[in-house]
Structure 1
Amino acid sequence: MLARPLLLSAALLMAGLAGAQLAFSRLNLAGQQVQSVNLYGAEYASQEVLGRVVRISREDQIIRVEGYGHVLLLPLDEDPQRATTAFNTVQLDTARVNARTATLLNGNLYLPLDTLARGLGAEYRAGSFRVVPARLQGVSSRAGASSDRLVLDLTRDVDFSDELRGTTVTVTLREVEGEARRYTTRGAFVPRAQVVRDGQDLQLSFTLPPGSGYRVYRVVRPGGARLVVDAGPGIPYTSPALLERISRPLIVLDPARVEGLGRDVTLDVAQRAAELLSQAGWQVRLTRDGQSALGLNQKLALARRSDVYLALDLGRFPGTDRGGVTVYEPTGRSTAQIVEAVRAGGKAPYIDLAIGGVGGTRRLSELLRGELKGGGVTAQAETVSRTLMLGEAPQAALLLELGWVGNEDDRAALASAGRLRAMSVAVARSVATYLTARAANAGRTVSATPGTDPQANRPAGASQ
């Protein structure tokens, strides 16, 4: 399979380099079989091939190579024979050394493999370029007067993320090998830490003491890398905006306008629920009132910002005998690309606080049906797909169908003020319970008016 491309490439190159000492060969590049060039006794590979493992860019006559925490600067010498000598000055991170440098072959950029391996900490021999596996070699500690330090020694630089949930700091090392174990440190502020495996990742966690902050930074050096974690009262405390947002969530109630019942029951339930939630300190927005309603784009903007989105509607379909209250959970792909990407497995620090999985919606549905049952209203659960607003909401989203317009029993029930009040209380209590638990799981407290119950206590006479 490789013979024909090699012959074609050789023909093109030899046309411009008839006098050069050049031969084509195979290279195992980080487990992949690719093509390399032996140029005056030195092995080179093209920018296209090497771009699979490092980032390569050109700035005038300087070639910049970035990868595994290292930055290499190689001058471009268009004379291939001169480029392959070991007398060129290249920069490997902060060190300037003599080594082979980059050149052009028939207009294409080629780089020396031995120089790249030297700068990137890779293992190289003729025909094989192997990136050192990422491995945690150990964790050491140092005690300080106002902060403690944990040092993670790694075979090479790796991707990492850090999160603070409650009082627990978790540093995740992506696709890193290593031993899961507990560490006892020398510090007064971080006396112990633990390393556990999470799939292909390693996670270091420790408890952050009260009044303390922490910071994480990398130190890349020849032959390895370090991840340094400082924690204690001497480090300023910072909090991501997402953590602050979860303390002040946005609840969006979207009552549909339905004619033919003599009263606006969806708006009635939504307004009563909003009043209960607002009195308990929650932030609530309605998409309409009795006189005006938000436009589609305004509603979409609210739905995309919501922490809970609850649509209220009535079933209406000519000739059907359906009836009763139904709580619908959205199913299928989300209409919002970023929401769909995260739910399909995308990872980022605190991402679950911005975009929730289907578990949040399911939990809210269970709470709502339980509160409805406690108020004397039986509700069934179903799923619904291709609903624009539910698909755009990044967190918990439900459609509550209060009954059916064409069903006589439902019409009679919806004419009861007690029935509407029970459904309003069920909405308020289930939403408040869900958000309080979500904040607790994230290690935060929710913002509620002092002296009130954040779960919107049931008003007297709500049960029937």
Structure 2
Amino acid sequence: MQSVTLFGAEYASVDAVRSLLSVTEDGGIVRVTGLGHTLLLPIDEDQQRATTDFNTVQLDTTRVQARTATYVNGTLHLPLDTLARGLGAQYRAGSFTVPAPSLVGVSSRAGKDTDRLVLDLNRDVEVLDEQRGGNAVVTLRGLKGEARKYTTRGAFVPSVTLARSGEDLTLTFPLTAASGLRVFKVVRPGSVRVVVDAGPGVPRTNPELLGRVTRPLVLLDPLTVQGVGRDITLEVARRAALLMTQAGWQVKVTRDSANTMKLDDKLVLTRQSDVYIALDLGRLPGAKRSGVTVYEQAGRSSAQLVNAVRTGSAKPPYAVLAVGNGGNSRKLSELLRGELKGGGVTASAENTTRILTLREAPQAALLMELGWANNAEDLAKLGVDDRLDVMAVSLARSVATYLTARANNNANLSAGGTP
């Protein structure tokens, strides 16, 4: 770092430190921020007086006597020894270095309803905290430290594991459903403490999206088909919904025999769903088709954010819980057709771009055609309760299998979207 000597003290220009620090002037005071610290230095235009230690400067929350800022040929300069003192850097004449961030020590304290972990660092780093399944994970970016396991006397955090993750250091420990997590820093001149509190005494602040792992929404949308006698799509939807509800899944059906959900309300639920399945009968005049067909959405979604996440141009936290890719629908389609085949029903697979609700669904979404309304053989088969039971059971089993596998895959999900 280039510097000048003023009355025996080394000073660096603001331009020389901008790559490391943010420097702003306001009313005769220069504010220096960086490495987790904030320094306030008065600007004294008398160079000789500025280089004495009779000046009062503020290093974070502490006021001390030290050299302060001054102008050299109209350019603001900062005293290197004061910067080093406030930032925790190493300074000697002709040398100003910032040490690599490293872990200095780990300590713990057991409380009545909260356990505390304290990580002492030599300087500030970026800290991320998140819940991955039944564990809390605190990531310290770019921090050096030894990978090891610690035991504590705490009832809520009995042990913690420090591990390397690329250039980062991670702290992992079990976090029960009744416990909250709080992480904050205490920044002091020359050191930083990262404090981690966990236990029932800490309010829970988990992202709402994490509830999607254990409480997904299944939306069944039986479309109305006129002129075929009984309401086949609604009967299959009701039977499947009953089976899934009895198994503990959250299921909603878009209509009953008397009321049909408005399109806008249906689209709101569709966008919130983890599984959306429309039930219909093929009914194209003059078409000579028959049998069961399972359709997947082809092409882009109606939502710009969904497309951005699927293409990787946007990566919001826990995105995979809100937006799935085309593979989700394909996997569910394969499960459904496999269950139908086990019940003696052969189903074909096709793609479609004509269904609005499929385009709106951010996760797995299918259209299941139970048969064709203008095919007498199909209608005869759908008039038999056993056939409808096969449809309903296949639908319920495939959805349950899909969601169970999805929950297992997401059990250790990170905010970045990877287990």
Deviates more, 1:416-425 or 1:401-410: 401-410
**Partner residue, 1:399:** 366
1:267-286 aligned at under 5 Å gives the runs: 267-286=234-253
CA distance 1:341–1:143, change in 2 (3 Å):
same
**Partner residue, 1:294:** 262
How far apart are the structure 2 equivalents of 1:102 and 1:384? Answer: 70
Instruction: Name structure 2 gaps, 5 residues minimum.
Output: 413-419
For residue 112 of structure 1, the aligned residue among 53, 56, 78 is 78
Q: Alpha-carbon deviation of 1:309?
A: 2.6
Is the CA contact (8 Å cut-off) linking 2:110 and 2:155 kept in structure 1?
yes
Q: Alpha-carbon deviation of 1:93?
A: 0.8
Is the CA contact (8 Å cut-off) linking 2:131 and 2:206 kept in structure 1?
no
1:26-105 aligned at under 5 Å gives the runs: 42-46=11-15, 50=18, 62-75=29-42, 79=45, 85=51, 89-97=56-64, 98-101=66-69
Q: Percent identity?
A: 50
Is the CA contact (8 Å cut-off) linking 1:53 and 1:67 kept in structure 2?
yes
SS of residue in 1 equivalent to 2:14: strand
How far apart are the structure 1 equivalents of 2:103 and 2:359? Answer: 41
**Partner residue, 1:430:** 398
**Partner residue, 1:238:** 204
Q: Which AA in structure 1 matches 2:341? A: K
Cα deviations by residue, 1:227-249 (Å, 9 ceiling, x for unpaired) = 2234457x446362625565543
Is the CA contact (8 Å cut-off) linking 1:39 and 1:84 kept in structure 2?
no
For residue 171 of structure 1, the aligned residue among 129, 138, 143 is 138
Count of matched residue positions in the alignment of Structure 1 and Structure 2: 401
SS of residue in 2 equivalent to 1:428: helix
Is the CA contact (8 Å cut-off) linking 2:14 and 2:23 kept in structure 1?
no
CA distance 1:144–1:277, change in 2 (3 Å):
closer
**Partner residue, 1:459:** none
How far apart are the structure 2 equivalents of 1:244 and 1:121? Answer: 42
Cα deviations by residue, 1:196-253 (Å, 9 ceiling, x for unpaired) = 23344332222347966554332222223222234457x4463626255655432223
Is the CA contact (8 Å cut-off) linking 1:83 and 1:101 kept in structure 2?
no
**Partner residue, 1:7:** none
Q: Alpha-carbon deviation of 1:141?
A: 3.8
CA distance 1:414–1:71, change in 2 (3 Å):
farther
Q: Alpha-carbon deviation of 1:314?
A: 5.6
For residue 194 of structure 2, the aligned residue among 196, 220, 227 is 227
Q: Alpha-carbon deviation of 1:261?
A: 6.1
CA distance 1:329–1:148, change in 2 (3 Å):
same
SS of residue in 2 equivalent to 1:133: coil
Q: Which AA in structure 1 matches 2:12? A: E
**Partner residue, 2:303:** 335
How far apart are the structure 1 equivalents of 2:123 and 2:48? Answer: 32
CA distance 1:60–1:333, change in 2 (3 Å):
farther
**Partner residue, 2:416:** none
Q: Which AA in structure 1 matches 2:14? A: A
1:182 aligns to 2:167 (yes or no) = no
How far apart are the structure 1 equivalents of 2:320 and 2:374? Answer: 41
Q: TM-score, normalised by structure 1?
A: 0.65
Is the CA contact (8 Å cut-off) linking 1:135 and 1:154 kept in structure 2?
yes
Is the CA contact (8 Å cut-off) linking 1:269 and 1:423 kept in structure 2?
yes
How far apart are the structure 2 equivalents of 1:170 and 1:280? Answer: 32
For residue 250 of structure 1, the aligned residue among 214, 217, 237 is 217
Q: Which AA in structure 2 matches 1:45? A: V
CA distance 1:239–1:103, change in 2 (3 Å):
same
Q: CA RMSD in A?
A: 4.8
**Partner residue, 1:325:** 293
How far apart are the structure 1 equivalents of 2:387 and 2:72? Answer: 80
Q: Which AA in structure 2 matches 1:44? A: S
Q: Alpha-carbon deviation of 1:157?
A: 2.1
SS of residue in 2 equivalent to 1:99: coil
Q: TM-score, normalised by structure 2?
A: 0.71
Is the CA contact (8 Å cut-off) linking 2:37 and 2:187 kept in structure 1?
yes
Q: Alpha-carbon deviation of 1:94?
A: 1.0
**Partner residue, 1:121:** 88
Is the CA contact (8 Å cut-off) linking 1:361 and 1:397 kept in structure 2?
yes
Q: Which AA in structure 1 matches 2:237? A: A
Cα deviations by residue, 1:53-98 (Å, 9 ceiling, x for unpaired) = 5556666655544433223334467x59689646654322112243
Is the CA contact (8 Å cut-off) linking 1:265 and 1:414 kept in structure 2?
no
Is the CA contact (8 Å cut-off) linking 2:101 and 2:124 kept in structure 1?
yes
How far apart are the structure 2 equivalents of 1:188 and 1:42? Answer: 52
Deviates more, 1:114-123 or 1:315-324: 315-324
SS of residue in 2 equivalent to 1:301: helix
CA distance 1:196–1:270, change in 2 (3 Å):
same
Is the CA contact (8 Å cut-off) linking 1:63 and 1:102 kept in structure 2?
no
